[in-house]
Amino acid sequence: MRNKKILLILCILIFIILLILGYFFYNKYFCYTEITSIDNDFKISVPNRVKFKVKEPSQENYFLDFYSVKDEMFFYSNSINKQSEINLKEIVNNEKNSVSLNLQNVNMLSDICEFTINNYKACKYSYTYTDTSYGNDLFAEVVWIEANSEIYVLDLEVITKNMEKYKEIFETIINSFDLI
């Protein structure tokens, strides 16, 4: 009888430990943290497995700026007031062409990909470059989203050694973009 009680208590303890571990892994790998821009205009979701800190507003005037120290990942966002009808792909192509002129050691400059996010027209491209002020090579994915009277620019960057790990995470963040 005593052995049965010990076995029952042991099973309950194992069950509780598994439950706690399951909850921890669920929160870490399957849940997201929603972040809202400074002007409360849009929001994105970041997977909980990315440990990040949101920066306070600064002179750069980003509407959302956060980073992960551990993985050396950076996210910057801005918006441009759209004065008239535009050709988004043409504007993105002009900006993409200036990238190779203004940055050092630009490589892997991708073609522009057109797609939609929550029914908004979007374009993106990616590249690697050397950031001399940071002292490292970075992978950047730049997304332009045309929504109502604004164009939102999302710039996601990570050091190249963490590039493969973050490509899927960047897609998750980009696809979570939504206006408030």
Tens digit of each residue's pLDDT (9 = 90 or more) over 62-93: 888 999 988 899 999 999 998 888 899 999 99
Q: How many domains does the chain have?
A: 2
Q: Are residues 9 and 77 in the same domain?
A: no
Q: Are residues 45 and 55 in the same domain?
A: yes
pLDDT band at 18, cuts 50/70/90? very high
List b or e across 92-103, with b for residues whose CB sees 16 or more CB atoms inside 10 angstroms: beeebeeeeeeb
CA distance 52 to 70: 8
Q: Which domain, by its residues, includes 163?
A: 31-179
pLDDT at 60: 64
Q: Are residues 17 and 36 in the same domain?
A: no
pLDDT at 23: 86
Q: Are residues 148 and 87 in the same domain?
A: yes
Q: Are residues 84 and 155 in the same domain?
A: yes
The torsion of the CA quartet 65, 80, 89, 172, rounded to 10 degrees, works out to 30
Q: Are residues 94 and 164 in the same domain?
A: yes
Q: Are residues 42 and 130 in the same domain?
A: yes
Q: What is the pLDDT of residues 89-99, one digit of tens each?
A: 999 999 999 99
Q: What's the mean pLDDT in 118-143? A: 94
Q: What is the pLDDT of residues 41-56, one digit of tens each?
A: 999 999 998 989 988 7
Q: Are residues 48 and 68 in the same domain?
A: yes
Q: Are residues 124 and 66 in the same domain?
A: yes
Of the ranges 22-26, 30-34, 48-52, 95-99, which one carries the lowest mean pLDDT score?
A: 22-26
From residue 147, give the alpha-carbon distance in Å to each of 15, 122, 173: 49, 9, 17
Q: Are residues 157 and 139 in the same domain?
A: yes
Q: Are residues 40 and 24 in the same domain?
A: no
pLDDT band at 169, cuts 50/70/90? very high
Q: Are residues 59 and 5 in the same domain?
A: no
pLDDT at 101: 85
CATH of the domain at 170: 3.40.1000.10
